[in-house]
Structure 1
Amino acid sequence: MDSLTPAASKAEEGREKNKVLLTGGTGFIASHILDCLLDQGFDVVVTVRSDEKGDRILSSLPPSTPSHPLPSVTYAVVPDIAVPGAFDACLATATPPFTHVIHTASPVLPQLAPDADVAAVLLRPAIDGTTGILASIARHAPSVRRVVLTSSSAAILHPTPQGEHTVAVYDETHWAPADWDEAVHPRPHTRADYAYCTSKVLAERAAWAFVAAADAPFDLVTICNTYTFGPVPRHLPGLGAVNVSNGRIRDLVAGAWADRARPLPPTGPVPTFVDVRDVALAHVRALTAPAAGGERFYVVAGYFSNQRLAAAARRAFGRELAGRLPPEDAEDDFPARVFGFDNAKSRRLLGLEYRGLDESVRDTVASLLEHGAEARA
């Protein structure tokens, strides 16, 4: 498209055409952000770790036609986001220059061995990858007006080691506890995912601190989304590459939970979800909504449990999934007392209207079946 949508055109009247750098281009959330950006008429450069990944993204896009022209989409290879200056080249050489950045890229969550150097493999890469791109923007891209950072509800929620929550209602004002020493040297009662949550907290806090200290020419928005379900990307190389949240639904569709003699896998201490398309829309609306600048958003739609996922899949695809689903009377481990959440800010400032669990599960299952999900032997 040669112009923005009418609403965006009015907001950006008299300015250059919006051009977005989208990092982590092959990621689950980034793939939907890309679709949303293109639908809104933004030119986009996505960053990927290799040419093969970039080509896979481009080949998965719908064709540009005279009646439905596609905005400009290219990619830039950034092999390691934690390397100092990793984004310098793509920011400094962009023609025309970038107006916005959406930073979704983060270090791949490793399977931490008991003797793992948590600081080296998780904490430092998360922090350095975040502050590194902000520093590169400040040095090489003075045209950038806003940066939207994908954080996580892991930076907000803080269940106890027993999976309980002492906060009655979570919102954007809450921060999960983050202790470097405890993440690096966990004690017997430390939660298994404490190091991961700490990495999210420290990376987001570092971003806010950078913008405040550097007197940056851009402002910052952070998106803290919870467990994220939704259609898998078109360019997904295989079902083994499904994101962690959707892995539950993939296993459900494959029949991994069908054995009546075995209970369903535990849902876990955070039984909240959001659809990836709403997460993507939150990022894109946060780019240009004037009131979003300098704000943090808790992006969450509702509650789920593994039993409720199975029930939603049964309602939508009971015939197609016959023999693969757990029994209807499988025990539901949804807690009797559950924390509340307040997503009013995202509704008010970003205009989000969240999809429900049934719609999200239905569309996720449909996409998995299209990608060849079959019952396990």
Structure 2
Amino acid sequence: MSVLVTGCTGFIAQYIVRDLLQQNYKVIGTVRSDAKGDNLKNLFNNNPSFVTEVVADIAAPSAFDHVFEKYSDEIKVVLHTASPFHFNAKDYEKELLIPAIHGTKSVLESIKKYSAQTVERVVITSSIAAVKDPLKSADKNFVYDEDSWNPVTWESCQLNPQDAYRGSKKFAEQVAWDFLEENKGVLKYKMATVNPSMIFGPQLFDQNATGVLNTSAEVINSLLHSGPETDLSNLKNDFVDVRDVSRAHLLAFQMDETVGQRLGLSAGQFNGQDIAQILNERFPQAQGTLPKVTGEGANKTEPYAKFDNSRTKKILGFDFKSLEETVYDTAAQILKVEGKV
């Protein structure tokens, strides 16, 4: 069986490719250039079950047509992970909203055009950002679940890059659900979305654990080098390990129970003090560059809005990695690459 993974050079996607290959799937990955594709294939030892196709701009009209035209009879599963995730945007529509929304619609339009009766399952990588209302994050009595939606509007999401990202994930996911409903008489596939919280964990390949890392892993990387006077007061969120996110993507198309579900991935809450404590306890050799522990962790301080993803945990049936494990593995890899472990 062939699985299409869009944006296969990404942090999550590389683990997905690895896990698919280990389970003997053929993987077709989209990349932004031949050079990126060649580099990733080399990292996977030029596995003959892994091929790449260039999609230079996922937001372009018919961006994925040539991929589905070429593999129209082979692709049975589509894992759409490609979407921008950063907070450096200046033009929010051009850099975040349009690529996310148009990229999602483009891949679904290509399925409809070339593989309407051959693609059986589609998994969209969404985010907890499409679920949570940031204005209620400090409300300890508020509970989110997999049915919740961020109430952000097109206008309100363009006030800052964080809200623009949240909007991009919400609107792109809604496009996917709407497209399926509008074309249910034409399309064969069944769909699920994966909605992870902040994703920590090591890079799949050590060579990627240098410099500025992807947006979520950079949180830990920056704290490793931030110094003892770092202000941690604004750092709090839900978290999940990248290896669990990859596992969830595979189960999302392998299990009947996931059909029509939004799989909310969170292993719990954390704050900056939690991470500082783990780093200081586990990496004494890095003293001097680590932030000081000056307060209590997220589970001992005043709680904030909770994400109840018990439905997802029951469906997936596995335990998520702990904060200590994911922070330790992330930091240990970075320090190893830097020659400090």
**Aligned residue for 1:221?**
192
List alignment gaps of at least 5 residues for structure 2: none
How far off its partner does 1:105 sit? Answer: 0.2
Which amino acid is the alignment partner of residue 279 of structure 2?
Answer: A
How far off its partner does 1:307 sit? Answer: 1.7
Alpha-carbon distance in structure 2 between the residues aligned to 1:344 and 1:353 = 11
1:264 to 225, 231, 235: 231
Which amino acid is the alignment partner of residue 159 of structure 1?
Answer: P
**Aligned residue for 2:44?**
61
1:365 to 328, 331, 334: 331
RMSD of aligned residue pairs (Cα, Å): 2.3
| 1:239 alignment partner, SS class | coil
Specify whether residues 342 and 125 from structure 1 end up closer, same or farther in structure 2 by C-alpha distance, changes over 3 A only. Answer: same
How far off its partner does 1:263 sit? Answer: 4.0
How far off its partner does 1:227 sit? Answer: 0.4
Alpha-carbon distance in structure 2 between the residues aligned to 1:263 and 1:371 = 23
How far off its partner does 1:299 sit? Answer: 0.6
1:133 to 99, 102, 107: 107
Give yes or no for the alignment of 1:75 onto 2:49. no
Specify whether residues 330 and 71 from structure 1 end up closer, same or farther in structure 2 by C-alpha distance, changes over 3 A only. Answer: farther
Specify whether residues 346 and 282 from structure 1 end up closer, same or farther in structure 2 by C-alpha distance, changes over 3 A only. Answer: same
1:152 to 108, 118, 127: 127
Alpha-carbon distance in structure 1 between the residues aligned to 2:200 and 2:81 = 16
Specify whether residues 94 and 167 from structure 1 end up closer, same or farther in structure 2 by C-alpha distance, changes over 3 A only. Answer: farther
Which amino acid is the alignment partner of residue 46 of structure 1?
Answer: G
| 2:248 alignment partner, SS class | helix
Specify whether residues 243 and 121 from structure 1 end up closer, same or farther in structure 2 by C-alpha distance, changes over 3 A only. Answer: closer
Specify whether residues 137 and 309 from structure 1 end up closer, same or farther in structure 2 by C-alpha distance, changes over 3 A only. Answer: same
Deviates most, 210-219 or 148-157: 210-219
Specify whether residues 359 and 71 from structure 1 end up closer, same or farther in structure 2 by C-alpha distance, changes over 3 A only. Answer: farther
Give yes or no for the alignment of 1:122 onto 2:96. yes
1:103 to 69, 77, 80: 80
Specify whether residues 343 and 93 from structure 1 end up closer, same or farther in structure 2 by C-alpha distance, changes over 3 A only. Answer: same
**Aligned residue for 1:251?**
222
| 1:304 alignment partner, SS class | strand
Alpha-carbon distance in structure 2 between the residues aligned to 1:299 and 1:77 = 30
2:23 to 40, 50, 60: 40
Alpha-carbon distance in structure 2 between the residues aligned to 1:295 and 1:78 = 28
**Aligned residue for 2:145?**
171
Q: Kindly provide the CA deviation profile for residues 106-130 of structure 1, in whole angstroms up to 9, marking residues without a partner as x.
A: 13536233xx3x3333322211111
How far off its partner does 1:252 sit? Answer: 2.2
Q: How many residues align?
A: 336
2:65 to 82, 85, 88: 88
Is the contact made by 1:236 and 1:242 (CA closer than 8 Å) also made in structure 2?
A: no
Deviates most, 135-144 or 118-127: 118-127
**Aligned residue for 1:201?**
170
Alpha-carbon distance in structure 2 between the residues aligned to 1:373 and 1:355 = 26
Deviates most, 143-152 or 270-279: 270-279
1:221-370 → structure 2 map (5 Å cutoff): 221-234=192-205, 236-237=207-208, 239-253=210-224, 255-256=225-226, 258-259=227-228, 262-268=229-235, 270-318=236-284, 320-327=285-292, 329-332=293-296, 334=298, 336-370=302-336
Deviates most, 102-111 or 353-362: 102-111
How far off its partner does 1:372 sit? Answer: 2.3
| 1:193 alignment partner, SS class | helix
Matched-pair identity in %: 35
2:181 to 209, 212, 236: 212
Alpha-carbon distance in structure 2 between the residues aligned to 1:100 and 1:124 = 24
Q: Kindly provide the CA deviation profile for residues 76-99 of structure 1, in whole angstroms up to 9, marking residues without a partner as x.
A: 111000011111111111276111
| 1:330 alignment partner, SS class | coil
Is the contact made by 1:306 and 1:332 (CA closer than 8 Å) also made in structure 2?
A: no
Deviates most, 39-48 or 240-249: 240-249
Alpha-carbon distance in structure 1 between the residues aligned to 2:254 and 2:76 = 10
How far off its partner does 1:100 sit? Answer: 0.2
Alpha-carbon distance in structure 2 between the residues aligned to 1:48 and 1:291 = 31
Which amino acid is the alignment partner of residue 233 of structure 2?
Answer: P
TM-score under structure 2 length normalisation:
0.91
Alpha-carbon distance in structure 2 between the residues aligned to 1:133 and 1:165 = 38
